[in-house]
Amino acid sequence: MIIFDDKVVSVFSDYGIMLPVAGWRARKIVDQLGGDIASPSGHFPGPVLDIQQTLSFLGKTGDVIGRSDIERVHSPAYVDALFSDSPDGLTRQLLNAYELIGPDGKPNRYEPDKALKPLSALFDKILAQCAGSYLACAAALSEERHFCYFLAGGNHHARYDTGAGFCLINEIIIAARKLQAEGGASLIWIIDVDVHKGCGSAELVSFIRSGVNPVPFEDGCDILTLSIHMARGWPLDSETLSGAVQGRAPLLPSDVDIPIGEGEEALYISRLEQGLDRLEQLTPQGAGPGIAIVVDGADPYEHDELLSSALMRLPLDQCVERDMLVYNFLRSRNIPSAWIMAGGYGERAWEPPCRFLQTLGACRASRV
């Protein structure tokens, strides 16, 4: 099934943030798929449900993500800041996470005089996206095809004690840890194919294992992370600089990292295939994952418009081949999967996830 809800989509210009993110991207995909939100009875990979309908489907009510879910993943001091309106509180953390103040102290991609809403109001959207990712996991476990695609979300850069890279909180690890705390899964795979390294997810998992995060995994639980990404460029270059300046620890490795250098696009699929095999080898015998969360960024696409995505240019067919490789790998092993749409910038960022979902539907139809 597919989760789509206009209410969780962040229209960044409403907050004065000038990023090339099309607020209509998810709606365009649903329109192209012929989905009907009012009558959620579409064919595979549908039906298309909004958040409220997904809650009903799962028999849940009320707020999905609360402070305690964030406390499981981020540092106590950082969580305190997020829920504070002090000078170092929520607004300061948002300015930092969205890189809205440049090194010169002047606004960067930020025009607060054009904002229609206060920056702090963005937090509600971020929590709603986090809820959507968690619900996608719960739905993938519950629905008959064990597949759910959430047309939003993907905040994978947020670190233990700070936001980063347009990510205030790490929605991927928050969703995974909530699922584990509720007994929904023990081992969880994160397969991150966004063009930018899943640096926050790698750090958070490492910090749980090493005890830096005082909230341990539940008995028998773990998260294994795979990230395939640009070998250079954000965050791998900028972090070296900012890490030195801020005295932060360097970026930590994922369990499986697959850096792709400039001009190596032709190797992408075979190296991803090897990486998936490696992920499986790292998985203890007889303890396969209860679910895989796929961070399905469209920003490796050759038509992506974000400057910091420019060092990888996958054609559309290769983006779809990537997704079908991951989908078939998981399906052949009966592993439920929750797909989070993640990064994608500019006028054509809707095309890779749309073509993937159309391809899934066509494959299914041809089998029937």
Residues that bind Zn ion (CB under 5 A): 194, 196, 297, 299, 343
Residue number, 69 or 194, with CB nearest to Zn ion: 194
Distance, CA of 23 to CA of 11 (rounded, Å) = 5
Residue number, 167 or 204, with CB nearest to Zn ion: 167
Residue number, 81 or 260, with CB nearest to Zn ion: 260
Residue number, 18 or 58, with CB nearest to Zn ion: 18
Question: Are 197 and 235 contacting, i.e. CB atoms less than 8 angstroms apart?
Answer: yes
Distance, CA of 263 to CA of 249 (rounded, Å) = 30
Question: Are 189 and 154 contacting, i.e. CB atoms less than 8 angstroms apart?
Answer: no
Q: State in angstroms the smallest separation of the CB of 269 from Zn ion.
A: 19
Which residue type sits at 121?
Answer: A
Q: State in angstroms the smallest separation of the CB of 194 from Zn ion.
A: 4
Q: State in angstroms the smallest separation of the CB of 10 from Zn ion.
A: 15
Residue number, 72 or 196, with CB nearest to Zn ion: 196
Give the CA angle between residues 322, 151, 107 to the nearest 5°. 100
Question: Are 230 and 236 contacting, i.e. CB atoms less than 8 angstroms apart?
Answer: yes
- Where do the DSSP E strands lie in the chain? 2-3, 48-49, 147-150, 187-192, 222-230, 256-260, 291-295, 337-340
Distance, CA of 84 to CA of 70 (rounded, Å) = 14
Question: Are 156 and 73 contacting, i.e. CB atoms less than 8 angstroms apart?
Answer: no
Residue number, 51 or 314, with CB nearest to Zn ion: 314
Q: State in angstroms the smallest separation of the CB of 118 from Zn ion.
A: 26
- In the structure encoding, which two tokens stand for residue 65, read together? 């993500």
Closest residue (Cβ) to Zn ion? 343
Question: Are 201 and 155 contacting, i.e. CB atoms less than 8 angstroms apart?
Answer: no
Distance, CA of 236 to CA of 238 (rounded, Å) = 6
Residue number, 186 or 309, with CB nearest to Zn ion: 309
Residue number, 194 or 305, with CB nearest to Zn ion: 194
> Which of 344, 61, 329 shows the shortest CA–CA distance to 196?
344
Q: State in angstroms the smallest separation of the CB of 299 from Zn ion.
A: 4
Q: State in angstroms the smallest separation of the CB of 114 from Zn ion.
A: 25
Q: State in angstroms the smallest separation of the CB of 226 from Zn ion.
A: 15
The CA–CA distances, whole Å, from 12 to 8, 125, 235, 352 equal 12, 11, 21, 22
For CA atoms 266, 45, 138, 154, give the dihedral sign: positive
User: Residue for token digits 């078939």?
Assistant: 328
Q: State in angstroms the smallest separation of the CB of 229 from Zn ion.
A: 8
